[in-house]
Chain A
């Protein structure tokens, strides 16, 4: 199956070097020994080739049953426009930061207890008793800031390159929703250690929601699980932070990536295609 691109394929398909020709000095060994050696060499060669066939056979087995070959080839070898530079890595960097948050979050979730009475002590337990607990919690905390910085940089790059215009408007809308969800993750996650800073920031944030006319107080009640900060508030924020929003973010990232692969990334806006301009002139 042709999965490897040009330069790599050639290196693999190079014919194996010819077996060493028997020289004059070998006459002393005798003809049978020479023949034996040649056979052993051929054996080794055959075994090497058989081993090299194994990964190709496995890939072929999967391809036959999933039909993934053409899709992967299309996805991996699609062309990116001329002039694609380092600015274009910000999007995948944001996704990578999200993955880092997801993985560190899963490990933190194994030790965290989402009740008002035990949340703080479970975080202290993570910091003090669990091996690398403080490190993983630090990664999760600073990863959040890094992700927010990257998402704003990515949005700025998209804005200044005009990459939200035809035909990528839907992609931009999905991106803005992802931005809002990311800020919501920061807001809900902040309460979970249940220290002074998190508690009061959440109290103010929920009251901010409450200031919206008519619907505001009900929205605040929904977030808090009642009129006062209570036992259900932490559980609600935990469920929103751990289940609801990550699922939405993952689904929207999937849609965002699909559109990026289908429509292609834009070329940097200062590049003009000479051939296209000539073609356009011809038409007029």
Chain B
């Protein structure tokens, strides 16, 4: 903004300000009402949802799956999306640092004197995109199911197979329903429709690397192996 635009803004602002109302009591009333609403919301949530306290901290656990608070879900989900190991530090510190720097320097690279959102399309579109991206990542982080259980409902006779699938580490690389990770392996939610029973069993014995082979499972516990194959073949 050059000096003329600055002066124009200040003049316009002075006029609009003189046409306004005094801070006390008009604005203070709105602020106080809003403060009461905030307090009522906090108290209601405290009474309704209480304050849960999970099990005591234990660093020796091998079954716990860590989750952050909801307002960090967007960063958590970003880490799940960035898979290659060499890019890890970009997702962990690179992107958040760049975003913070951009946010702080915003008034210096947005020098358009226009303030009406309908008349500054780039800024408005950029803002809406960022908000939509963060909202999407937050929701994805929230619905991501536990990676050690399969929450999909199945017929009673398939439940043992579902338990074998959940405890054999399949969810570490595959998605089944809402649970599991979307890589490096393909989504198995409808694998029964794509591959016949025999093909599924063959893949488990002789898979494409990096998938591990489950031939040991078939040797040591053939019943569990066939239950696993039954469950997977029924996913249509």
Contact of A226 with B by CB under 8 A: no
Contact of B55 with A by CB under 8 A: yes
Residues of chain B within 8 A of A197, CB atoms compared:
54, 66-67
Contact of A223 with B by CB under 8 A: no
Residue interface bits A165-204, CB-to-B below 8 A is 1, else 0: 1111100110011011001001100100111111111011
Residue interface bits A95-130, CB-to-B below 8 A is 1, else 0: 011001000000000000000000010011001000
Stretch at the interface among B24-32, B160-168, B225-233: B24-32
Residue interface bits B186-222, CB-to-A below 8 A is 1, else 0: 0000000000000000000000000000000000000
Pairwise interchain contact B8-A280, C-beta atoms closer than 8 A:
yes
Pairwise interchain contact A280-B11, C-beta atoms closer than 8 A:
yes
Pairwise interchain contact A141-B31, C-beta atoms closer than 8 A:
no
A166 to B115, CA, bound (A): 10
Residues of chain B within 8 A of A82, CB atoms compared:
16-17, 19-20
Partner of A198 from B11, B14, B57 at Cβ < 8 Å: B57
Pairwise interchain contact B50-A143, C-beta atoms closer than 8 A:
no
A140 to B66, CA, bound (A): 22
Residue interface bits B1-28, CB-to-A below 8 A is 1, else 0: 1000010111111111111111111111
Pairwise interchain contact A195-B92, C-beta atoms closer than 8 A:
no
Given A5-B22, A79-B20, A203-B66; A142-B57 close (CB under 8 Å): no
Partner of A169 from B24, B72, B107, B131 at Cβ < 8 Å: B107
Residues of chain A within 8 A of B39, CB atoms compared:
96, 100
Pairwise interchain contact B22-A78, C-beta atoms closer than 8 A:
yes
Residue interface bits A39-66, CB-to-B below 8 A is 1, else 0: 0000000000000000000000000000
Residue interface bits A146-163, CB-to-B below 8 A is 1, else 0: 101010000010011111
Contact of B81 with A by CB under 8 A: no
Pairwise interchain contact B69-A190, C-beta atoms closer than 8 A:
yes
Partner of A5 from B18, B25, B100 at Cβ < 8 Å: B25
Stretch at the interface among A13-21, A207-215, A236-244: A207-215
8 Å CB interface, A217-267 against B = 229, 264, 266-267
A204 to B76, CA, bound (A): 10
Contact of B159 with A by CB under 8 A: no
Contact of A77 with B by CB under 8 A: yes
Contact of B47 with A by CB under 8 A: yes
Residue interface bits B32-56, CB-to-A below 8 A is 1, else 0: 0111011101110111011101111
Contact of B106 with A by CB under 8 A: yes
Partner of B18 from A79, A90, A163 at Cβ < 8 Å: A79
Pairwise interchain contact A145-B71, C-beta atoms closer than 8 A:
yes
Residues of chain B within 8 A of A208, CB atoms compared:
92-93
Residue interface bits A257-284, CB-to-B below 8 A is 1, else 0: 0000000101101111101110110000
Partner of A139 from B25, B42, B66, B89 at Cβ < 8 Å: B42
Pairwise interchain contact A273-B16, C-beta atoms closer than 8 A:
yes
- Known contacts A80-B26, A92-B35, A193-B53; 13 additional CB pairs below 8 A are A80-B27, A81-B20, A142-B46, A148-B71, A159-B106, A162-B120, A162-B123, A165-B110, A167-B10, A176-B104, A183-B71, A190-B68, A196-B57
A interface with B by C-beta (< 8 Å): 5, 75-84, 86, 88-90, 92-93, 96-97, 100, 120, 123-124, 127, 134-135, 137-146, 148, 150, 156, 159-169, 172-173, 176-177, 179-180, 183, 186-187, 190, 193-201, 203-205, 208-209, 211-213, 216, 229, 264, 266-267, 269-273, 275-277, 279-280
25 A-B pairs whose Cβ atoms sit less than 8 Å apart in the complex:
A77-B22, A89-B34, A92-B31, A93-B31, A93-B34, A93-B38, A135-B46, A138-B46, A139-B42, A145-B69, A146-B42, A166-B107, A167-B6, A169-B107, A199-B57, A199-B59, A203-B66, A205-B68, A208-B92, A211-B88, A211-B92, A212-B93, A269-B116, A276-B8, A280-B11
Q: Lowest 7 A-B CB distances belong to which pairs? A: A162-B115, A138-B46, A200-B66, A169-B107, A199-B57, A89-B34, A269-B115
